[in-house]
Amino acid sequence: MNKQADVIIVGSGLAALQLAHHLHSTSHVIILTKTKIRQSNSYIAQGGIAAVIDKDDSVHSHVEDTLKAGRYHHFTEEVERLAGEGAAAVKELIAGGLGIDREADGQPSLGLEGAHSAKRIVHSGGDATGRHTVEHLLATLPANVEIIEGEMAYECLLSEDRSVCIGVKTKNKEGQIHHYWSSHVVLATGGIGAIYPATSNQPTMTGDGIAMAFRAGAEVTDMEFVQFHPTLLFKDGAARGLISEAVRGAGGVLVDENGVSLMEGVHPLRDLAPRHVTAYEIYKALARGTAVFLDIRRVQQFEKQFPTITALCKRNGVPISKGFLPVAPGSHFLMGGISVDSNGCTTVPGLYAVGEAAHSGVHGANRLASNSLLEGIVYGRRLAAFLNRHIPVKSRPADMFYYEKQLKSESAITLSKEELRARTMKAAGIIRTSECLQNHVSYLEKLGIQKWIESGLDELDRDAIEKIDMHINSYLISRAALLRQESRGAHIRTDFPVEEVDWCGKRIVQTKDQINIRGGQHERNPIRIHA
């Protein structure tokens, strides 16, 4: 099948839907998702949306909190724009019909989460903000948007000289290959959580969009910064789901198996310290053989405040009434991704990225709680405004690039997702060392990672393509983590335990051909805007 559209969006999370919502109603927009439209990280997001809508709050305060949490590894002007535009974007959603939680007097009920200095978290449905927001956008989606489910995008279609993206190639569950043509292809595929053994992400988050962009020649940046959420429900040796940071904002306390506070004396914000701090403390306790719990006895009306978490605990046989929820860290959010400018343009003309798949420079080395949904809302709207100025579609080049070599199915048969997850966690998990990282990079290179990057994937089934994408992302993360010889935010090296001034603002940028260190503390994203 061959189809053409004005804009093609790969992914179905909040950033994708916000983008589709704001594109011209005269444009033909196609949303492609490899599973179902509601199977996204956004849909299961328990946290809210961080936005300055309270008169006693300020954009300056939100910016400062973001910079502190991310250890000043940001494009500062992008953070200022995010916080500044965020309030208007959230108010627009509310005015458009998104129902938010309110106090008895009708004012927004604003929550507190880790590393925030003010109550500024907007919630909808308690701990179901993601689901409510996605449902609102789906219910109000314009008629010009076509949704195609069950098709996995796996390669960018490129011009013959590989200089311009002109579409995407997909594969359905039956193995049929489809071509979608457009001068504007947006990757909104989310993060890479599923390449780790324990994650808060959907199991489909295998980094497909990042691998697609990288193989197409786009730059990726900051891949070493992977955030681990401190509190995943941990039962029978496995992570069962996320326990929102809002629980600690409502009074939950991290304790060890003896009831001793884990965060007392560790950080001034104690249980609301930045995520890399709390995750590290829990990791060290578990490594000592000490179980860790979230003490929720002080949280008032827990079941009413957190119905989603309550249901999660009941499904897994964890009684809320006892007041102690067993927890462990798990991969949660990628601060790095496909390099984009302020509008969402990548380094490949015709290719764009938005949401967690993109590196916009707003999250630094460690994302501030509830800034992720905000990013999707703000950048989705901003990219739409940019694309609206460059539609209609230009005629696509007559000649297209074809891979000289196609990977055979036997190339991926020996690859195990479970083995890769274990190896990635050991090398590039919460704690990293030069030896483990180097061993993992060498292991991936011996497997033939460079060959996979430069070969076509037409002859592989979807599971095999996911394996290839997971290995590519593991390689990108590990290579960058090996090169960054310091500890900063979510990147913790035991052999380089100090946050180095000389590394502040320096970014590790990777392409198919090279890896290099770029920039300094105040550098703006250098990508040239293209139409």
DSSP code per residue over 397-454: PS-B---S-B--THHHHT--HHHHHHHHHHHHSSSB-HHHHHHHHHHHHHHTHHHHHT
Task: Give the three-class secondary structure for 387.
Answer: helix
Q: Which two tokens stand for residue 79?
A: 């953070």
Does pLDDT of 246 surpass 70?
yes
| Residue of 71, 81, 248, 275 with catalytic role | 275
Region of 119 (left: φ > 0; alpha: ψ -120 to 50; beta: rest) is beta
Phi, psi (5° rounding) for residue 173? -65, -25
Domains in the chain (CATH in brackets) are: 1-225+335-404+499-531 (3.50.50.60), 231-331 (3.90.700.10)
**Which residue's entry shows tokens 């003490």?**
295
434 burial class (0-12, 13-18, 19+ CB within 10 angstroms)?
Answer: middle
Q: What is the pLDDT of residues 415-431, one digit of tens each?
A: 899 999 999 999 999 99
395 — pLDDT class (breaks 50, 70, 90): low
- The predicted model gives 19-43 an average pLDDT of 95
Q: Rounded CA gap, 279 and 358, in Å?
A: 24
Task: Give the three-class secondary structure for 249.
Answer: helix
Q: Which two tokens stand for residue 348?
A: 């490949």
530 — pLDDT class (breaks 50, 70, 90): very low
Q: Rounded CA gap, 326 and 318, in Å?
A: 8
Count of other CB atoms within 10 angstroms of residue 435: 10
265 — pLDDT class (breaks 50, 70, 90): very high
- Cut 0.75: pTM above it: yes
Mean pLDDT over the full length of the chain:
93
Does pLDDT of 118 surpass 50?
yes
Q: Which two tokens stand for residue 139?
A: 């219910």
Cα distance between the two ends of the chain: 27
Q: Rounded CA gap, 274 and 494, in Å?
A: 19
463, containing H or E segment: helix 462-483
Residue 523 gets which letter from DSSP? P
Q: Which residues contact 501 (CB under 8 A, 6 or more apart)?
A: none
423 catalytic, yes or no?
Answer: no
Q: Rounded CA gap, 513 and 294, in Å?
A: 46
Does pLDDT of 392 surpass 90?
no
392: preceding bond cis by omega (within 30 degrees): yes
Dihedral Cα 305, 306, 310, 313, nearest 10 deg: -140
Does pLDDT of 165 surpass 80?
yes
pLDDT given at position 238: 86
**260-110-356 Cα angle (round to 5):** 85
Beta strands 507-510 and 337-339 are unpaired
529 — pLDDT class (breaks 50, 70, 90): very low
Q: Which residues contact 171 (CB under 8 A, 6 or more apart)?
A: 151, 152, 154, 177, 178, 461, 462, 465
pLDDT given at position 137: 97
